[in-house]
A and B are shown apart, each in its own frame.
Chain A
């Protein structure tokens, strides 16, 4: 085992291979406060990548309701239970990673889902954390809660799938950090399906190989964001490249949101994979639940998100979510708008920080109609 530095844990950890960071790292930020689980991302991904034979129940992108939705069934609670209660220890994680917790004769602590676990991708949809008794009325904060968690492969810095594969069929691209399964080498051992705690590699019963989210690499190679990002009607996502914290660039919207404003958090960082999709936590959910899911720093992220209007650079970065199809490498904020640029510095998009307000007369003389102004 080699020693690698995992900044999510704030410490070094053991990993089967040397830690080599790619030239650029594929990253994504998802604002859970804006997701309505319309599944447009799921369908965009499905029709692009997995409509074929043997992929019937395969969703590289899925959106599940939390706390009772899972795809595959119980994926996170099962591995959390196996890992057991860990000492999170604040800024530096003191507990075991899944690599530390590997049983004798295994490369990682994992489990293979049952076939039926994939049968109900939308199980638990809209189920809230508890029952609403009859006659109850709305109070603040909400007495019950739920939220939507959209998920793709995290293209981890220390992928468990890659570490688990005994055939060396999985690789992390040095140019963009996208993690891929070589479909000519894979023999369908399902070690990656077993090893990945996020359960994002899937077994294809027709090809008899394992398949996973490819990060829409043909789009990335031509400077375009992923299908799930550009089709999102709620504009909850931004996809681009994320730097390690010591190389954070203030003019990269992903770096600004994650490293500088500290508004987005990784999913289950305690597993030790350094996942590269980040979530703006749902601000109405009790912090203890979110602490387990997004690690230390989640309360600060929620507090900073609530104050976004006071930080124009953060506001600008958030408004560039879903603003264009191309990958935004740089952005700048002036008094009234945020502008996104591609890698060459060419302008891609400009969005106003405050939408202009138009107030119409209550009665339209021309059409002889009454209007209602809404915000």
Chain B
């Protein structure tokens, strides 16, 4: 009888504890190592990453919200953080033998993203799954196809289909302004249509289906590099800014991660992700 009561009490305590703990509590801690200089930390092959200890982040297939990806192929990545007093830099690295950067109907691109609360409050973090109403998250997403555009120029139809032939395009026979009507999303400056400016998109979300590009307000920058069977992606963001995420305040924030393996047809919510917030500390 006593044993039974004890177990009941234990369960009750566990239930109360679960109830009072923040649902999306941050768990492990990543330290941003101080490095010299005052420029953006956007180079994945730079020497400032040397000697910075990486933290391994475990990834799971996203199976909570439809459409799902139950068969994730990448289960971990390494994260490093540095800061130079002006900028923060994050280096994300994961093994991926095949580079997926050319997109056709059934070919998808490699991608990685970092998520942060727009306003950090340790005791009241947003829902890690795309934030929630009134508690927005900032998402910095790097895409391999956009990196290809930035490095080599946008692939033409001939690059994608070497044996294709097409008579003529509107931009070859019409004045530029008229031809623009036939360019669809490209003419509307949709950020996925051209990576010439940046291989990364800064976006804000307050729940599922609300992820929105910040446009000219973008502050994030960075680059991806495929070397030795691994992707190395550096993301950088100013520690202080008039708009965007306020990183310097409080000396810490929370990070979430998502990764898309193009070869596995990962896209949108079909991804692998880290289901708990990671605390990022920024020593002054």
Is B267 in contact with A186, judged by CB distance below 8 angstroms? Answer: no
Cβ contact of A206, chosen from B67, B105, B193, B267, cutoff 8 A: B193
Provide the residues of chain A in CB contact with B105, threshold 8 Å: 112-115, 118, 190, 193, 202-203, 205
Fill in one digit per residue for A19-57: 1 if any B CB lies within 8 Å of its CB, else 0: 000000000000000000000000000000001111010
**Do B185 and A209 touch across chains, with their CB atoms under 8 A apart?**
yes
Of A168, A185, A191, A207, chain B has the most CB atoms within 10 Å of the CB of A207
Measured between beta carbons, the chain A residues less than 8 angstroms from B154 are: 206
What residues on A are CB-neighbors of B169 within 8 Å?
51-53
Distance between Cα atoms of A357 and B68 in the complex (Å): 65
Q: Give the chain A neighbours of B265 by CB distance below 8 A.
A: 112
Q: Tell me the residues in window 170-219 of chain A with beta carbons closer than 8 Å to chain B beta carbons.
A: 183-191, 193, 202-209, 211
Give min CB distance, A40 to chain B, whole Å: 18
Neighbour of B182 across the interface among A52, A107, A209, CB < 8 A: A52
Q: Is the pair A191, B67 in contact by a Cβ cutoff of 8 Å? A: yes
Instruction: Determine the residue in chain B with the shortest Cβ distance to A167.
Output: B209
B190 near A190 with CB under 8 A, answer: no
Given A114-B106, A189-B267, A52:B183 Cβ within 8 A? yes
- Band of interface residues on B: 35 or more
> Could you tell me the distance between the alpha carbons of A31 and B67 in the complex, rounded to whole angstroms?
38
Measured between beta carbons, the chain B residues less than 8 angstroms from A205 are 103-105, 157, 160
CB-defined A-B contacts under 8 Å, sample of 13: A52-B182, A106-B66, A112-B265, A167-B211, A168-B210, A183-B184, A187-B268, A190-B105, A190-B267, A191-B268, A205-B103, A208-B103, A209-B193
A residues contacting the other copy or chain, number (CB 8 A): 38
CA A102 to CA B183, docked complex, whole Å: 35
**A188 and B103 contact, CB distance less than 8 A:** yes
| B265, chain A: closest CB distance, angstroms | 8
Closest 10 CB pairs of A and B: A105-B68, A189-B268, A52-B182, A207-B185, A183-B185, A168-B209, A209-B185, A203-B105, A207-B184, A115-B104
B100 to chain A, nearest CB (A): 13
Q: Is B145 interfacial (CB-CB < 8 Å)?
A: yes
Cβ of B148 to closest chain A Cβ, rounded Å: 11
Q: Most chain-B CB neighbours within 10 Å: which of A107, A166, A202?
A: A166
Contact in complex: B184, A56 (CB < 8 Å): no
Q: How distant is A253 from chain B, measured CB to nearest CB, in Å?
A: 33
Q: A206 and B106: CB pair below 8 A?
A: no
Q: In the complex, what's the smallest C-beta–C-beta distance from B248 to chain A, in angstroms?
A: 31
Within 8 A of B (CB), among A116-153: 118
Complex Cα gap A239–B73 (Å): 48
Q: Known contacts A191-B67, A207-B186; can you find 7 more A-B pairs with CB under 8 A?
A: A53-B171, A54-B184, A106-B67, A113-B105, A166-B67, A183-B185, A207-B183
